[in-house]
């Protein structure tokens, strides 16, 4: 065979790291903590930034929504998922972000134990009066009904719940009915399988996940538990998991067709494995304390809130920019750059409002200003654009692995095998046996993906004569990969 003139192979798909996470778009207290987490863990700052946006957004759910126009508002709710290989230190990142939520929950429940016990006793006393009245010869039904309503209206009878981890759909119904909003934060995204029929005979139970993304009324009727109604449930989600989690979600009919995946903003973390050091700078006490105090301040404001949701508005300048952007850019990009993820792209305009709402509320609270006293300015909208664009690139990358013929993700897998086994050249049939796995159901699947690699310049074929004078093909691997 003539000497092969190798060049850099063409990317199989757009890189997830086409643009870095726009750290400067975050308020300073969040920016400093995200940067510090990234440094001490030697991880992509997008991991901390993504989980932090979802977590901080929880602090404002049920309090504010941002209007794009009179009949379109979005809540500060984000469903985020970080995808990274094993050993990428997902757990420490999530721990640092979750810590102040856990500490606030523990302290609040400890400080309000007496109030909870009193509320429980008040409910028991009302229930006892109801039982006594029901035993009368001529029960006063109006009075009984009034007492029942009084008992139902007594709140704070149980410890509050802020953050949940591994939870079933049934438990989520109970927790949301008691708390109205929750933060689902976990470094084990596999718990999403709980909602896809893991404990329910394979029947998906996604309704509450779908409705809690936008605060839509949820009604559940069960024989044992009876009727449960949650007028305005909100769930903020920050999950982290390995690549197979994303693959499973993409290939799951219920997750994809229901629109659940389109609600998630993905972060495919850039790996630093192989270049990490242990002696990195730890998070300073000042940065950690400022982050914890800020989250505690936000959570206290959330617990003390007794009003209805407040609608926030864009400034005149920001509104004009947003409308122009939606009309002249987003619709075109849904058909072009986001053609592989049109379901996700259809929610892109709403994602911008959600991020802007979180940034605005965090900015105002950091200055001691009530968010409803100021409109969302043009600068905040531009910062939201920057963050949303980061997720647009991440989504395009993530959804492209679900190409119609699946050859891209399969070709990626072959590249991983080649790198792991340090293969320089190999007979085509031997390479197939070396790379056999569940991803390739047949040899035809494997060879089709291999042809894709040849098309993109990762490998080259050479016709050779193998043992017993049989014709075969030698696979030469591009040294640039």
Q: Residue 183: helix, strand or coil by DSSP?
A: strand
- What residues contact 436, with CB distance under 8 A and at least 6 apart? 446
31-39's contacts with Cβ under 8 Å and 24+ in sequence apart are 32/287, 32/290, 32/291, 33/96, 33/283, 33/287, 33/288, 33/290, 33/291, 36/281, 36/283, 36/284, 36/287, 36/288, 37/92, 37/93, 37/96, 37/97, 37/283, 39/280, 39/281
CA dihedral 330, 335, 341, 347 (to 10 degrees): 30
Is 461 in a helix, a strand, or coil?
strand
Can you point out the beta strands (E) in 304-420? 310-313
313/360 Cα distance (integer angstroms): 10
How far is Cα 119 from Cα 215, in angstroms, rounded to an integer?
A: 27
What's residue 402's pLDDT? Answer: 55
Note the pLDDT tens digit of each residue in 411-422: 888 998 898 889
Q: What pLDDT is attached to residue 205?
A: 83
Q: What is the pLDDT of residue 434?
A: 86
Place of tokens 């006892």: 128
Give pLDDT, residue 272.
87
In angstroms, the CA 424 to CA 435 distance is 14
> Do the beta carbons of residue 212 and residue 235 sit within 8 Å?
yes
Residue 416, token pair as written in the block = 């991983």
Low-confidence stretches of the chain (pLDDT < 50) are 223, 403-404
Report DSSP letters for 273-307, one per residue: TTS--SSPPPPPHHHHHHHHHHHHHHHHHHHH--S
Task: Provide the pLDDT for residue 127.
Answer: 85
Backbone angles phi, psi at 72, to 5 degrees: -140, 110
CA distance 152 to 163: 25
What pTM was estimated for this model as a whole? 0.82
């Amino acid at each position: 065979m003539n000497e092969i003139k190798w060049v850099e192979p063409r990317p199989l798909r757009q890189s997830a790291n086409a643009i870095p996470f726009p750290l400067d778009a975050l308020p300073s207290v969040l920016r400093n903590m995200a940067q510090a987490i990234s440094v001490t863990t030697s991880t992509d700052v997008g991991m901390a930034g993504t989980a932090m946006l979802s977590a901080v957004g929880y602090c404002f759910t049920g309090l504010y929504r941002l209007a794009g126009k009179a009949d379109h508002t979005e809540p500060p709710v984000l469903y985020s998922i970080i995808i990274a290989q094993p050993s990428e230190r997902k757990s420490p990142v999530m721990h640092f972000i979750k810590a102040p939520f856990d500490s606030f929950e523990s302290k609040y429940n400890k400080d309000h134990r007496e109030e909870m016990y009193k509320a429980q006793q008040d409910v028991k006393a009302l229930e006892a009066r109801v039982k006594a009245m029901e035993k009368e010869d001529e029960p006063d039904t109006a009075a009984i009904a009034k007492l029942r309503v009084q008992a139902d209206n007594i709140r704070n009878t149980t410890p509050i719940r802020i953050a949940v981890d591994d939870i079933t759909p049934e438990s989520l119904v109970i927790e949301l009915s008691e708390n109205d909003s929750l933060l689902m934060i976990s470094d084990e995204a596999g718990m999403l399988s709980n909602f896809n029929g893991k404990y329910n005979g394979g029947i998906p139970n996604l309704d509450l996940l779908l409705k809690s993304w936008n605060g839509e009324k949820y009604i559940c009727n069960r024989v044992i538990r009876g009727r449960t109604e949650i007028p305005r449930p909100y769930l903020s989600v920050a999950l982290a998991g390995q690549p197979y989690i994303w693959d499973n979600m993409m290939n799951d009919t219920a997750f994809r067709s229901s629109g659940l995946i389109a609600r998630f903003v993905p972060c495919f973390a850039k790996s630093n494995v192989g270049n990490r050091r242990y002696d990195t700078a730890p998070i300073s006490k000042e940065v950690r304390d400022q982050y914890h105090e800020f989250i505690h301040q936000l959570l206290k404001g959330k617990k003390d809130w007794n009003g209805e949701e407040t609608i926030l508005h864009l400034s005149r300048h920001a509104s004009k920019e947003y409308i122009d952007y939606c009309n002249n850019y987003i619709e075109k990009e849904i058909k072009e750059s986001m053609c592989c993820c049109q379901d996700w792209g259809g929610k892109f305009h709403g994602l911008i409002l959600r991020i802007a709402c979180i940034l605005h509320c965090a900015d105002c609270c950091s200055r001691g200003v009530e968010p409803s006293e100021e409109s969302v300015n043009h600068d905040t909208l531009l910062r939201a654009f920057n963050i949303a664009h980061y997720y647009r690139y991440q989504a395009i990358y993530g959804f492209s692995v679900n190409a119609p013929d699946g050859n891209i993700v399969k070709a990626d897998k072959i590249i991983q095998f080649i790198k792991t086994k340090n293969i320089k050249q190999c007979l085509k049939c031997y390479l197939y046996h070396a790379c056999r796995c569940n991803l390739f159901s047949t040899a035809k699947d494997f060879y089709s993906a291999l042809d894709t690699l040849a098309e993109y310049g990762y490998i080259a074929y050479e016709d050779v004569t193998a043992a017993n004078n049989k014709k075969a093909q030698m696979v030469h691997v591009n040294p640039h990969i």
